[in-house]
Structure formats: structure tokens, C-alpha cells
Amino acid sequence: MAAPARGTTPRRRPGLRGWSGLGGGAQPYLDPAPEWRGTTVQVCGLWPFGAGSGTPTKGVPLGRDLHSGATVCCDPISWFQRAGLISNPSAFVLGQPGLGKSTVIRRMALGLAGYGVHPLIFGDLKPDYVDLIRALGGQVITLGRGRGNLNILDPGEALSAADRLTGEARRALLADAHGRRLNAVSGLITILRREPPTDREETLLAAALDVLDERHDGVPVLGDLLRVVKDAPEPMRTAALDRGSIDRYRDITERLESSLAGLLGRGRLGDTFAHPTTEPMRLDAPVCFDVSSIDDSEVMLQAAALLSCWSYGFGAVAAAHALSDAGLEPERRYFLVLDELWRVLRASSGLVERVDVLTRVNRTRGVGMAMVTHTMRDLLALPTEEDRQKASGFVERAGMVITAGQPRSEMPRLAQVVDLSQIEQQRITEWSTPPGWDTSDAAVDPPGRGNFLIKVGGRSGIAMHVDLTPSELAVNDTNKRWHARAGSTAPGPVEGGPSSVGQA
């Protein structure tokens, strides 16, 4: 250091312990600073140079982190297969209407399609996904009264696939197809009766399907199944335990005959499921079953359509993977979407069991799945405790839970199956706040539209906002009828511009 110039007074500086001298306040003794040792997770808030880890970068870019602004990448297949962040390639999505549930699923489906994964929408009631599937060059299958049929006894690709297989693979595929058809018929009877068929009736249905497989040429329909029950062949009488009395057999099968007759077009479910399948499902492209023509007042028909689409679709996926396992077809990945789950569960007691059987997709099959409903109340408002426990298992088994805004009353129910901190609960309830009382012409989005919390186990949730690109807005407008009535077909103010999500 250079010496001070001659004739100047050196600048005084405090010592290491303060200013010395009278009134200086120097501290003769310094207490040592307290020290603790801990992991970066435990003491990150105390360590001055601590910084949180970045958001996951593997998967479909969903939006931006609400705290850091970083891009959040997330989808159940990538987080399971590539990142190893979840142990089950599935997601359960919750949220109040209008906050973007279907939009976040559409973003996942669009991104996964870019990765070579085929989105499969098993029942679109609004419709929310038809435009997206068409934009991806996929197949849209229309079902409804007078618009298309889905034969629930149609094994789809299972029969043709079984003809190409041998040995145990063939037997396993046929047994899987048999079980799915039995579950589908039992499910429709459950919806029709509002109670499940008895054990004896299910045994009779299984025997009738065996008789059809052995004696019927081509693909049978429900009318053929009813005819087998009426004809009383020996396998049916043995299953009925009629003790050699045809009158006893008629008494045992009378109610079953009545229920099957109600599925042939003369009952509340119409003939949608009683005729040959109008359009078979493809396995090499995105697919959407459009059931939006079924009115919301036909609750039972909606539930039956969804359940039938799920059964048919899962069977087709099983056939595709059986062929790929045998080296006869290329390996394909699928992203299955089960939207409006609550409509099926509420249709009748006992349907939870049917859905539970359908949705237990083995993770080794290369299938990701997303189930969508509004609130936990939809799952826990079922009539029996057994159904409620099984419905809660849908959420507990999911690899990730994605929730949009929820009312405060839902927090205790959601906290039973998802580990939520008080701050996370407060954030979710704030997102359910309605928009302000704006009387101007400009529509105001709800403050929580597009905001989601991603939860995986006990980890802290990732709060994010979904941003749509301009090219996505055309396939995310779910209020087209309102725009058409206003004299415009362009996306209206419900979208809020390129930075907002569409209503779900």
C-alpha cells in the first residue's frame, strides 16, 4: 500500500473489533457464531447461498413454474420411463369446471404425440379432444343414438391377433378378451339395474360367452347372447344348477333374460351396444371415441358409453402389445385418457369394481394413463364404503396427482390421499376464486385458470401455469356453440388470448 502523501492526515479505520478509544464501542470479546450441521434440504432456508433445485426437464413442456418462471416438463410416461420420478405411469387430474383440466391433458397428449406416443381418448363427452385428434391425423369414432354402434361382444383386434399367435400367448390373449367382454356385459347390466348381477348370473354369462365362442360363426352381438340363454344348451343348464328341470332353469335365468332384452334397443340404453361395431378402432394412430351426441340428461347412457369404450379400447391395446411381444408388430406406446370418471362411478353401485378391473393396466405394457374428474367428492360420495375405498385407490395408485383450483371444503378429503402442506392447500383454494364483478364487455378469466399443482408422493408440489401457443388455441376452444350463437366461430374471450388456457 502506498504511504500517505506528506502533509496529509491518515484516514482512520476501525479495527477488527470496532472503534478503539473512548466512546468507540470496541468489543473486547466476541461470541462465536452458533453452528449447525444439516442437509441442504433441511437448512436451505438458512444457508445464504442456498438455491432450490430446478424443475424437471424431461417430459412434455406444460408451462412455467409460478415461483421461478422456469419451464416445467411433465407427463406420466416420461417421468416413469426416462426420469424415474414415479413408479407408475399414470396421473390423476382434479379441478373445478372451467379451470383447465382438459387443457393440461390435451397439452400432454400433443407433446407425447411428438414423442411417438399415440393418445387414446376413450369417451369424449363435450367434446374436448376431437379437434386435437383430427389435427394429429388420428381417428375419430362417433357413437350415439343413430350415429354409430359399439358391439360390446366384439373382441376387436383380439381375434385377428390370436390367429397370428400360438401357445401361451394365444391362450392368454383369448382369456383376456373373454374377461373383458364378461366385465362389459356385467357393467351394462349393473347400469341398467342400478345393482350388479349376482354371482350365479355372472357364471351364466361366462358360460354363454363360451358357447358363443365355440358355436357362433363371426362376431356375435347381444341378441346372440340372449338366444343362447333362452336355448338352454347343456353347458348353460349345468352352470345354472337346474337339477334336470327346465322349469327351474327358466326361473333362474328369467331376470337375466329380462336385463339382456333391455340392452337390445327396447330399454333406456337404446341399441347403441346391440349391433355390429360401426367403425373398428385403429392401433397405429391417435383415436378418440366421440360420444358428445349423448345428452347430459341421459346419465345412464353416458355411463354405459364410457364403460363400453374403455372396455373395447383396453382390449385393443392388449392385442397390440401381444403382437409386439411376439415380434409381429412394432412396439407402440399409448397414452390413455379416461375423462369424466365420475359419470360412470355414480351411475350405479358396484361400477367401481368394473372400472377397477379395467384400469389396472400393467406398467410393463408401455401404457400411460390419465384419469380426470372434478373433486374427491365425486369418488367419496358413493353409496357403499367398499366403493368409496376402491375409488380412493384410483388416486392413491396414481404416479402423480395434478390438481387445479378446489373449494376449501375439499381440502380434508384431498389431504386424506395426497400429502399437502398448509401453504399448498391455501394456494389450491385461492385458485378456485371466481373472477371479479366486471361488467365491461371484456371477459375476465378466473384467477386460477391454468394453474396446477403437481404432487408426487410426499414431495413438495410444483405450482405451475399452463401457457398455450397460438396454434393450440384452435383445438382448445370448448365453447364453440357459444361463439357460433354470437355470430363468430373464432375463439372468444373465454380463451383470454395466447397466454391462457381454454375452459375444461
Lowest mean pLDDT among 137-146, 287-296, 466-475: 466-475
The arithmetic mean of pLDDT across residues 473-494, rounded, is 54
pLDDT of residue 490: 43
- What value does the mean pLDDT take over residues 147-159? 89
Picking from 31-40, 292-301, 329-338, 413-422, which range would have the lowest pLDDT averaged per residue?
31-40
Q: What percent of the chain has pLDDT over 70?
A: 83
What are the pLDDT digits (tens) for 30-55?
Answer: 777 666 566 666 666 665 554 455 67
Is 388:379 a contact under the CB 8 Å cutoff?
yes
Length of the chain: 504
Q: What is the pLDDT of residue 112?
A: 95
Tell whether the model's pLDDT for residue 260 goes beyond 90.
yes
d(CA 180, CA 479): 35
**Is residue 493 predicted with pLDDT exceeding 60?**
no
Cell numbers given for 222: 347381444
> Given this model, what pLDDT does residue 310 score?
86
The predicted pLDDT at position 376 comes to 86
Cα distance between residue 26 and residue 28, in whole Å: 6
Q: What is the pTM of this model?
A: 0.79
Under DSSP, the state recorded for 411 is H
CA atoms within 13 A on the CB side of 104: 33
What's the average model confidence in pLDDT over 393-417?
Answer: 89
When pLDDT is averaged across residues 379-397 and rounded to a whole number, the result is: 80
Q: Higher confidence at residue 358 or residue 99?
A: 99
Which one, of 59, 57, 64, 58, lies nearest residue 450 by Cα? Answer: 64
According to DSSP H, which parts of 122-233 are helical? 130-135, 157-163, 167-193, 199-215, 222-231
DSSP 3-state assignment of 231? helix
- Range with the lowest mean pLDDT among 3-17, 52-66, 198-212? 3-17
Please say whether the beta carbons of 103 and 450 come within 8 A: yes
Whether 242 shows a pLDDT value over 80: the answer reads yes
User: In the predicted model, what is the mean pLDDT of residues 274-281?
Assistant: 91
Mention every residue, 6+ apart, whose C-beta is less than 8 A from residue 403.
93, 94, 95, 414, 418, 428, 452, 453, 455
Instruction: Count CA atoms within 13 Å of residue 166 on its CB side.
Output: 1
Residue 240: exposed, middle, or buried by beta-carbon count in 10 A (0-12, 13-18, 19+)?
buried
172-181, 292-301, 389-398, 457-466 — which is least confidently predicted? 389-398
φ/ψ of residue 469, rounded to 5: -80, 160
Predicted confidence at residue 394, as pLDDT, reads 84
- What per-residue confidence (pLDDT) applies to 238? 94
Contacts of 167 (CB under 8 A, 6+ apart): none
Would the pLDDT of 158 be above 80? yes
Tens digit of each residue's pLDDT (9 = 90 or more) over 203-229? 999 999 999 989 888 899 999 999 999
Q: Hey, what amino acid is at 238?
A: T
pLDDT of residue 500: 47
pLDDT above 90 coverage of the chain, percent: 40
Q: What is the mean pLDDT of residues 481-489?
A: 50
The three cell numbers locating residue 374: 372434478
Closest CA relative to residue 59, chosen from 43, 34, 30, 79: 79
CA–CA dist 345, 350 (Å, integer): 8
Which pLDDT does position 340 carry in this prediction?
82
pLDDT for residue 503: 42
Task: Record the cell numbers describing residue 236, joined without a space.
Answer: 348353460
Three cell numbers, residue 430 = 385461492
pLDDT on residue 241: 93
State residue 55's pLDDT score.
77
pLDDT at 333 over 50: yes
pLDDT top residue among 392 and 235: 235
| pLDDT tens per residue across span 74-124 | 999 999 988 889 988 999 999 988 888 989 999 999 999 999 999 999 889
Instruction: Read off the C-alpha cell for 140.
Output: 375419430
Average pLDDT, the chain: 83
Where is average pLDDT lowest: 236-240, 278-282, 481-485, 492-496? 492-496
Q: What is the 3-state secondary structure (H, E, C) of 353-365?
A: HHHHHHHCCCHHH
Q: How confident is the model at residue 405 (pLDDT cuts 50, 70, 90)?
A: very high
Q: Higher-confidence residue: 499 or 233? A: 233
Q: What pLDDT does 499 receive?
A: 41
Q: Confidence class of residue 463 from pLDDT cuts 50, 70 and 90?
A: very high
> Across residues 132-143, what is the average pLDDT?
94
Residue 497 buriedness (CB in 10 A; 0-12 / 13-18 / 19+): exposed
Between 411 and 342, the more confident residue is 411
Average pLDDT of span 61-78? 90
Strand pairing of 90-94 and 400-403? parallel
Q: So what's the pLDDT on residue 137?
A: 94
